Amino acid sequence: MEANTNIMTIFQPQNIGSIAQAAPQAWTENNQSHDRCLKYAQVLLDRVRLEGMSADLDKEIAVFLERARKTVSKMKQKRSPVTQLFDIIRSSYAALENDIDPGRKDTLPEQLQQMRNRYADERRQQEEQKRRERQRLMLINQAKEAHAANCLQTLRQIVVAAENRIIQTIDGIVSATTLENYQLQLMRIEQMTESIPAATVADRYSPQVAAIHIEQGIPGPERLQIEQRVLNENINGLIRQSTDNIRERKQRAIDIMPSKRKELERMATAEKEEAERIKKQMEERERMESERREKERAEREAKEKAAAELAAKKQEMDSLFGSAQAQAVEYQPKTSVKKRINVLNPDGFMQVVGMWWAQHGCTLSVAELEKEFKKQLTFCNKLANDKDHPVFIQSEHIEYVDDVRAK
For position 318, what pLDDT does the model report?
61
Is 253:189 a contact under the CB 8 Å cutoff?
A: yes
Is 324:134 a contact under the CB 8 Å cutoff?
A: no
Among candidates 186, 151, 175, 171, which has minimal Cα distance to 258?
186
Count Cβ atoms within 10 A of the Cβ of residue 278 and give its class: 0-12 exposed, 13-18 middle, 19 or more buried. Answer: middle
Q: Of all helices (H) and strands (E), which one includes residue 124?
A: helix 108-175
19-28, 153-162, 227-236, range with the lowest pLDDT: 19-28
360/4: higher pLDDT: 360
For position 235, what pLDDT does the model report?
93
For position 2, what pLDDT does the model report?
47
For position 103, what pLDDT does the model report?
86
> Is the pLDDT assigned to residue 330 strictly greater than 70?
no
Q: What's the chain's average pLDDT?
A: 84
> Is the pLDDT assigned to residue 329 strictly greater than 60?
no
Q: What is the pLDDT of residues 85-142, one digit of tens each?
A: 777 778 888 888 888 888 888 889 989 888 988 988 899 899 999 999 998 888 888 8
> Is the pLDDT assigned to residue 277 strictly greater than 90?
no
DSSP-assigned letters across all residues of 144-179: HHHHHHHHHHHHHHHHHHHHHHHHHHHHHHHHT--T
Q: What percent of the chain has pLDDT over 70?
A: 86
| φ, ψ at 373 (rounded to 5°) | -110, 35
Is 211:168 a contact under the CB 8 Å cutoff?
A: no
Is 377:385 a contact under the CB 8 Å cutoff?
A: no
**CA-CA distance, 227 to 149, in Å (whole number)?**
10
For position 229, what pLDDT does the model report?
95
User: What is the pLDDT confidence band of residue 405, given thresholds at 50, 70 and 90?
Assistant: confident
Query: How close are the terminal C-alpha atoms of the chain, in Å?
Result: 46
Among candidates 303, 283, 302, 279, which has minimal Cα distance to 291?
283
For position 8, what pLDDT does the model report?
65
> Is the pLDDT assigned to residue 326 strictly greater than 60?
no
**CA-CA distance, 240 to 261, in Å (whole number)?**
32
For position 317, what pLDDT does the model report?
64
Q: What is the pLDDT of residues 356-384, one digit of tens each?
A: 999 999 999 999 999 999 999 999 999 99
For position 263, what pLDDT does the model report?
82
Kindly list the domain boundaries of the chain, sorted by start residue: 2-99, 130-326, 343-407
**CA-CA distance, 254 to 192, in Å (whole number)?**
11
3-class state of residue 403 by DSSP: coil
Please calculate the CA angle 226-137-135 and round it to the nearest 5 degrees: 140
For position 86, what pLDDT does the model report?
76
User: What is the pLDDT confidence band of residue 314, given thresholds at 50, 70 and 90?
Assistant: low
> Is the pLDDT assigned to residue 202 strictly greater than 70?
yes
**CA-CA distance, 14 to 133, in Å (whole number)?**
73
User: What is the pLDDT confidence band of residue 1, given thresholds at 50, 70 and 90?
Assistant: very low
For position 357, what pLDDT does the model report?
92
Count Cβ atoms within 10 A of the Cβ of residue 242 and give its class: 0-12 exposed, 13-18 middle, 19 or more buried. Answer: buried
Q: What is the pLDDT of residues 14-43, one digit of tens each?
A: 566 666 677 788 888 899 999 999 999 999
HSE, side-chain direction, 13 A CA sphere, residue 223: 16
> Is the pLDDT assigned to residue 303 strictly greater than 70?
yes
**CA-CA distance, 334 to 315, in Å (whole number)?**
35
> Is the pLDDT assigned to residue 266 strictly greater than 60?
yes
